[in-house]
Chains A and B, each alone.
Chain A
Amino acid sequence: MNDLEDDVPAADSTPAASRPTAVSQHDRRDVVLRVDGLRKRYGENEVVRGLSFEIRRGDCFGLLGPNGAGKTTTLRCCLGLIDPDGGTIEMVGQPVPKAAREARIRVGVVPQMDNLDPDFTVTENLRIYGGYFGLRRAVIDARIPRLLEFAGLASKGSAGLRTLSGGMKRRLTLARALINDPELLILDEPTTGLDPQARHLIWDGLRQLLAQGKTILLTTHFMDEAERLASRLAVIDHGALIASDTPRGLLAQHVEPEVVEVYGDEAKKWADIHGRRLSARLEIAGETAFCYANDAQPLLADLATRAGVRYLHRPANLEDLFIKLTGRELRD
């Protein structure tokens, strides 16, 4: 992959006197996507309500939220496909929607649903898509072998789309999003519908890109995906930001560090009599009691003496955080 910093003029090339402060200019250049006070309404329903966040160069920014939280609407606003009702967006240094087209020249998109061209081969898909960016054929053809290799499709260049598995199609979609060597890669639930093996291959690919210094915006509702990839997270629900920090920071701030999951016939009864007393916080979901604690030892000591319950002791993870912040009720 080409070095992304090539086109960016060195900060030193400007005389010191002509810039306000070196730090603020450095900062500005370093923010790849800035969303400020974004609002979007459909009729009476306000889908995005004053959402603000920033993505810095080299970050993998995870946008988490339950179905209908406003993730996809936010992405569509950033790409300039729909106009916000309020707020400002600046993507790769361009104001959106005003200069959305110019911004999209330097952005790659992996959509939620595959939209590869079924009539073309693997290579043709990349070549045709490169044409939409106004890239010269020679430039595109020089990039294709590396992209095929990156996607693990080096031997499939002339294969028809209909012969590819779901995982291969996803990888090709990812490769296609890189044909313009983008500064920012936007992925909308990139591994939804994939089996675990295929999912790990996509994650490996994304980690490679991050190691090369690419910037990624990722929406997901898979917490292990966010946990593995994201360097910063924003949890949104009902169109507004609930929390934003590093994954570690979020956990430290919002969730007790230890969890004991208690299940079995007597679990509910035990939870009411002893669990609540011994936990910092306790939640019942179905047949399971989730006991959150800063120190789980008293819980474990008590549970060891009980019959009719089984339990699992583990560190708190993003799923606990997500559930705490967005609730347990089902979303459609």
Chain B
Amino acid sequence: MTFTAKLWAPPLLTVRFLPVWRRNLLVWKKLAIASVLGNIADPLLYMLALGYGIGSLIGEVGGMSYIAFIGTGMVCQSAMFTASFEGMYSAFSRMHVQRTWEAIINAPIGIDDVIMAEWIWAATKAVMSTAAILVVIMALGYGHTWLAVWILPLGFIVGLTFGAAGLVMNAMAPGYDFFTYFFTLVLTPMLLLSGVFFPVEQMPPVLAAIAEFLPLKHAIDIARPLMLGRVPDQLLLHAFVLVFYAALAFYVALVLTRRRLLK
């Protein structure tokens, strides 16, 4: 097989990613408290401040109290940020700074397994922060419905989408500063246009149309009804958009990482 053909080959997915995923879990366990706090402090502060502050002015939005409305948005955005961060900064440390990946691929584990492990790990962390915020929302007395538990697997899929996007950036990054582009040009606009703070319908039609292409918007379209105890409309469409972006970004990350490391 030529180098180009090997570069573009479909992913070789095996269970050999598991020991690498487990390695990340064991490191995380050592710093778990700081890590969880870091992942959920920001979204919780936003949720409580905006939820009680603005919530006292405007009452209900979209059939739910504003704090539950923004809380659901925060669950999704924290999955997005957690997974992006893991795919970029943490993966870059392991790939470039600590050379952990280099050590791993000298063992009988392929680069595809390593990328797969990082991808699943990013999604795992997204579930952790999703769960933490969900618990707080429940504890505050919003969203008492068993359907809300389905937000956990949703967090995993959101994690796959943005973890893969982070890994694409990682494969191209000359240094940590490079990741600022992704935050400024992708994540921040996504946060503002996807209906985290206010309903998408409130925006001018052009922006609302753009929002239809944003994965975070589709995640929120699944999460809000679940929080209200309803099965989301067009569930399959929303899920398809997320999975489509996840699969595409994963494949691109794989090709770019192979190109970066296997030459």
Contact = CB atoms under 8 A, between A and B. Distances in A.
Interface size class of B (residues with CB under 8 A): 20 to 34
Given A83-B3, A117-B23, A132 B98 contact: no
Contacts of A145: none
Contacts of B19: 128, 131-132, 134
Interface in A71-106: 79, 81-83, 101-102, 104-105
Nearest to A124: B26
B247 to A, nearest CB: 25
Interface residues of A, number: 27
B180 interface: no
Interface stretch (B63-71, B102-110, B185-193, B199-207): B102-110
Q: Which of B6, B103, B106, B261 has the most CB of A within 10 A?
A: B106
B22 A131 contact: yes
Interface string A41-67: 010000000000000000000000000
Given A83-B3, A83-B6, A119-B30, A134 B108 contact: yes
Given A117-B23, A129-B103, A102 B30 contact: no
Given A83-B3, A131-B22, A131-B23, A118 B98 contact: yes
B27 A119 contact: yes
Contacts of A129: 103, 107
B99 interface: yes
B27 A117 contact: yes
Main secondary structure on B side of the interface with A: helix
Contact of A115 (B16, B26, B98): B98
A139 interface: no
Contact of B106 (A82, A109, A117): A109
B262 A105 contact: no
Contacts of A82: 262-263
Interface in B73-132: 98-100, 102-110
A192 to B, nearest CB: 15
A133 B107 contact: yes
A81 B103 CA distance: 12
Interface of A: 42, 79, 81-83, 101-102, 104-105, 109, 111, 113-120, 124, 128-129, 131-134, 180
14 contacts: A101-B110, A104-B108, A111-B106, A113-B99, A117-B98, A118-B98, A119-B27, A120-B26, A120-B27, A128-B19, A128-B23, A129-B107, A132-B108, A133-B108
